[in-house]
Structure formats: C-alpha cells, structure tokens
Amino acid sequence: MPGRSSFGSVEALPSGRYRARYATGVGSWKSAPTTFSTKTAARAWLARTQVSLEQVAAGSPKAVQASRPPRLRDYVAEWIAERRNGRGEPLRPSTRRTYESYLRLHLSPKRLGGMRLDEISPEHVRAWHHELDSAHPTGRARVYAFLRTVLATAVSDDLIAANPCRIRGAGQARAVTPVEVLTPHQVADLAEAVGERYAAAIHLGAWCQMRVGEVLALRRRDVDLDTRIVHVRRGVTWIDGVAMFGPPKTDAGIRDIAMPDIVVEALQRHLIGVGGSGDALLFVGRTPGSPPPVQTFADAVKRAARRSGLPLTFRFHHLRHAGLSLLAEAGASVAELQARAGHSTPAMALHYQHARAIRDRDLAARLDVVIAGGAGQIKQ
C-alpha cells in the first residue's frame, strides 16, 4: 500500500525499493527519477521536491534552474548505480564495469554528456553517433543501444517527452569475425587437438550449446552422468583477473541440458582426473580451485584450431553455432532451440531456423540437378 502525505506518495515495489511520486494534475503523476532503498529517502525526496516547486512558483531563479532535468552524464551515472536486472538484483560486476566504461569513454567526454536531458535532440544524437569509431561496429552498436535504453528510462521518469535515439538499426551490428560452422568431424578433430585437459569443454560447447562462461563455471555436481543431464546454474566472468561466479544474466540461462553420447563419454574420461567433491570445478586453472582465465582458455582453443586446420577467425563461441545449426537441420522447433541455448527471446533461435531453411533450399537445388540429369538420360 502506498504511504500518502500532504504532498505525494511513497509506494513499496516488488524489488524491495520505494517509488516516490506526486500529482501534477487530475489523474496525472510525476515519479522521482530513481527508486529509493528506504522509505525515509523517498519521503525526503518528496519534501525537497515540494520546496523546490514552491520556490519555482515564487520565481526563484536558482530554483527554476534546479527544477530542470539533470545533465546526461549525471543521469547515466545515477542510472547505473540504481539499475537492477530482471530479477530485481544489482547488476553483475562485469556488466556494471561495461556500462561505466561507456559513460567514461563515450558519453562524459562528448558534448552530449554535458547537455541536459531536455536539450538533447535526435540531431544531437546523430552527431554524437557519427563521432563514434566506425572501425569497431559491434562496440559502436552496443554504446548506442545503451544510451537508447537509458533515455527510455528518462521517458518513463517523465524527464523527457520522447526518446531522441531514433537512428534505425544503429543498435545492431553484424559480427566482424565470420562465424565458422564446424562439421561433427571438425569438432572431433578440435577436441583431440586441444588435449585431455579441455576436450570435454569442446564437446560441451558444441553438443550442449553452452557458452564459455557456463562451461568454465561447471562443478562436479552440475554434471549427472546417470540421468545424462548437465545443470547450468551459473557462469563466470573475470574482474581484474579475479574469477567472479554468479547466476546467468537471465532466467532463461538457468536450464537443464540433455547430453548426447559423445558428451557423456568425454566427461567420463575427463572426470577420472577431477576431485570427488561435488563443488570441485570441472576445468581448473593453475590456481587451485579457480577456473582457467578466459583468455588462457581461448588461447588454448586457438592453438588447437590452428593445429586442426581451422581458420584463424575461429572462436569457442562458434561451437554453439555448429550445435544449434545441426539441431535446426534435425527439425528442432524455435522453442526447443531457445530453451536448449538459454536464449531469453526467440530472435536468435529464429536465426538457426533461417539457416535450416537456406540449407533446405540448397538441398532442393541439388535435387533439381539430379532430376535434370535423370530426365536427360530418359530422353536419350
């Protein structure tokens, strides 16, 4: 139940935080730019806002200036500090660091960062976007998508009337590194080339379609060879060289994956050298109890890829593409692909369905050649 006072109201949210807002007309409300950790803080904001509005009404120049929306860089910093994930939890350290780098490198130093929210126009955003480094299209797209999300919150907070980020397609980018879709034979060669230490990781990446952070976070108890299930419950990222374990970014990432024979057999061989504790990591780096740093692991995979004759552009993530593409060709539905891969939306699963359709058309074209050849023989 919202707690009301003579000015505004404070409402407890499902996340455990508090929203403060006040009436601006009949049936119209204006909320605080952020939510608050305590009811007292929310009420304090209402009190300050009431005083400010009274001063504005009295014509105080300082109050008029203070009542305007904040500058972009200040709002972004506050947005990051208050941001929560879909489960109402604080951002993961790696995500927070990424957002802070966007603010530090791409927003604060630019003219856009010093502008007040209500001063920013679509023209300003286009000029800022044009200045971003076009040599890194993926990073450019992510920074733009970040700004668009932040300003969408500003719209929800009634700080601006509309989002000025309106560049069509600017939040999307094609991968610079082409995706290598390996055949089962190539996956087997890669697993052999990487050696016993990481062979099972290669098979998990390809045939259980797992991300690298999910694979390297696996514990002995996450793998059940009797039921042939691998339980994905967490991932690992590295902050200043320190492994940080946490739940997947979305609830879709928490999943149980059925293992095909080749993965079960690889894990049976691998587990011979793993400690008996259920919390023991499957893949251990040089520091006892810690996984290999992601770059160390990536370098080992790259060396194995070169020995296997794979292109220099090959990455561990391409194994996921191989597995999902084969599943699509085998007739897996969008929902099945989405669930197995841990995608939060059907968009990526549709990508593999599209690949299956292209493959089907290719097979039809080959059939045309065979039919045409046969027809020619009949005519003779």
Task: Report, as residue numbers or ranges, the catalytic residues.
Answer: 211, 317, 320, 343, 352
* DSSP secondary structure, 191-205, as one string: HHHH-TTTHHHHHHH
298-314 as b/e, with b when 16 or more CB fall inside 10 Å? eebbbebbeebebeeeb
CA gyration radius for the chain?
A: 27
- Cβ distance 5 to 21 under 8 Å? no
The Cα 137–Cα 355 span in angstroms is 23
Residue type, 13: L
Give, to the nearest 10 degrees, the angle between helix 93-102 and helix 137-156: 90
Nearest to 128 by CA among 78, 72, 177, 87: 72
Beta strands across the sheet bearing 229-232: 223-224, 229-232, 255-258
